[in-house]
Structure 1
Amino acid sequence: MTTTDHTRTTGAARLITPADLAGIAGRPGVVILDATSIIRQPDGDGYYSADTGRGLYEQGHLPGAVYVDLLDDFADRSNPDFWTALSPEQFAEKIGALGVSNDSTIVVYDQGQTMWATRLWWNLRYVGHDDILVLDGGLPAWQAAGRPVETGPGTALPLATFVADPRTELYASVETVTAALGDPGTALVNSLDRETFTGERVTYARPGRIPGSKHIFFGDLVDATGLAAGVETVRAAGDAAEVIGSDGPVIAYCGGGIAATFVAFQLARAGRSDVAVYDGSMTEWANNPALPLETGEPAS
């Protein structure tokens, strides 16, 4: 596989604090997007269930924020897997219909897990948009700072035109990952918890991980207050997984392509802004018995 060009996607991961967001909210060209969805994880083994976060949005959201339904409106519903990305052209049409243009400064947030916000961040970058800010800590941080919220269905923005310019290097398919197996120049990064990574917990159709995977648990890249961990913490995790300084491609995956985007976002803050996300992740991989898995602790 060829080495990814790092230059096109440098500097694309930016956080914004509630105070700084309050200073730009309402300015022309600034669009705030709420990307909340819901996962319900069973105790012990078993697959999760999912639901739209629209109800939570209507209970309380940032003033002027527009809801982006990642589960229904912004997912390929012809695919049985949750949250499968739309084609860039479909995404562009739908995001334009929400009032987002190529000239918009976009602020994305969710209601506390951040991975929904970074899923939208990744999708926007995939279709070629760079002017994106992620609200650090999401709605809880906004409320903790004493900022106001709105309730109800929200206000629609005028229709805008968004034209996609896809960065195909940021999207990994099952074919991309299969081709990377055994390639020492490509790093596969599993973003799930340790028990799922080793196969002790069975969440998907089969236990384990994609062979040769490194491990960076997305939960380790959040601090105790729910904010994104600092760059030095991220860099240490990336160095331990041997992905920060490597020259070859990095592909992050998780269960359904959501948590992996948070790892990609954090690695971008630490200097690896070219990390691809395997959209189907373990939901797709484990469902295919022809694809290999490994369990246990990786060999040192």
Structure 2
Amino acid sequence: MPERDRFLATTEWLAANLANPKVRVLECTVHLLRPAEGQRGFRVVPAIEDFEAGHIAGAGFADLHNDLSDPESKLRFMMPPAEQFAEAMSRYGVGDGSEVILYDRGGNMWATRIWWMLRAFGFDNARVLDGGWTKWTAEGLPVEQGKPGPVPAARFTARLRPELIAGKDEVLQAIESGQACIVNALNEATYRGETRTYARPGHIKGSKNVPAMGDSGVVDPATQTYRDLADIRAQFEAAGAKP
């Protein structure tokens, strides 16, 4: 299998496999509504209304904000307990034997977030739809409207892989030792501290900037598909983010 196909699904592949009962498609979009002038932070709105207005045929909706984040944390989007994650995935129709395809309506940031969460909880058979909703609709592939439909009973087993998660102490140690490469995937203006979206402008000390989105991002803004592997590797190397 080509390296790209291990982590990305093409629209052609998904269109040919929509009827496969093992394939479970989940939309992952979240809207971050920007603050008023002079204010910081943002408002989180799961894109369920957009989903109901139109989504990939047969897809479910993965609610990162309400279902897949720790409700006890004061910080947004923190990893939930394993039991909470397993319950949500089971409710979405994702079982241990499923093949999961994730998509969103932006630059794949939400789909890749849930892809990583699945891996962190021990599930490897998930891929991100390359091009997401943008490419799917541009190609006139099957869509439908309405709320998520019923799904077959499923059981998801969450087995946390703590080695995939870095806590504050590990990051501080990495800064001190210089033995790890810390990558900031936000846009260049945010990295340079020119925006006030977050409580503190700038970036983690010593981190390198490889934007996920934008003209210089690893995702092509016109198609929402990932650039060629060689181009992405060159972006990391140019930023000094070498393995």
Which residue is equivalent to 2:218?
221
Which residue is equivalent to 1:132?
126
> Deviation per CA, 1:31-52, whole angstroms, max 9, x where unpaired?
1111111112358763222101
Identity level (%): 36
CA distance in structure 2 between the aligned counterparts of 1:161 and 1:12, rounded to whole angstroms: 26
Give structure 2 stretches of 5+ with no counterpart: none
Which residue is equivalent to 1:166?
160
CA distance in structure 2 between the aligned counterparts of 1:238 and 1:89, rounded to whole angstroms: 36
Which residue is equivalent to 1:32?
25
**Structure 2 CA distance for partners of 1:17 and 1:43, relative to 1, 3 Å:** farther
Which residue is equivalent to 1:189?
183
CA distance in structure 1 between the aligned counterparts of 2:228 and 2:36, rounded to whole angstroms: 30
CA distance in structure 2 between the aligned counterparts of 1:49 and 1:200, rounded to whole angstroms: 20
> Deviation per CA, 1:167-195, whole angstroms, max 9, x where unpaired?
21211222221222212111111111222
TM-score, normalization by structure 2: 0.89
Which residue is equivalent to 2:11?
18
**Structure 2 CA distance for partners of 1:116 and 1:44, relative to 1, 3 Å:** same
**Structure 2 CA distance for partners of 1:231 and 1:97, relative to 1, 3 Å:** same
CA distance in structure 1 between the aligned counterparts of 2:79 and 2:133, rounded to whole angstroms: 24
Give structure 1 stretches of 5+ with no counterpart: 1-9, 247-300
Contact kept? 1:98, 1:156, Cα under 8 Å: no
Is the partner of 2:115 in helix, strand or coil? helix
Is the partner of 1:84 in helix, strand or coil? coil
Which residue is equivalent to 1:77?
71
Which residue is equivalent to 2:99?
105
Superposed, 1:49-128 pairs within 5 Å as 49-128=43-122
Is the partner of 1:187 in helix, strand or coil? coil
Q: How big is the alpha-carbon RMSD for the aligned residues of Structure 1 and Structure 2?
A: 2.0
CA distance in structure 1 between the aligned counterparts of 2:6 and 2:162, rounded to whole angstroms: 18
CA distance in structure 2 between the aligned counterparts of 1:101 and 1:37, rounded to whole angstroms: 23
Cα deviation for residue 243 of structure 1 reads: 3.5
Which residue is equivalent to 1:41?
34
Which residue is equivalent to 2:170?
176
**Structure 2 CA distance for partners of 1:12 and 1:90, relative to 1, 3 Å:** farther
CA distance in structure 2 between the aligned counterparts of 1:29 and 1:106, rounded to whole angstroms: 8
Is the partner of 1:125 in helix, strand or coil? helix
**Matched positions, count:** 236
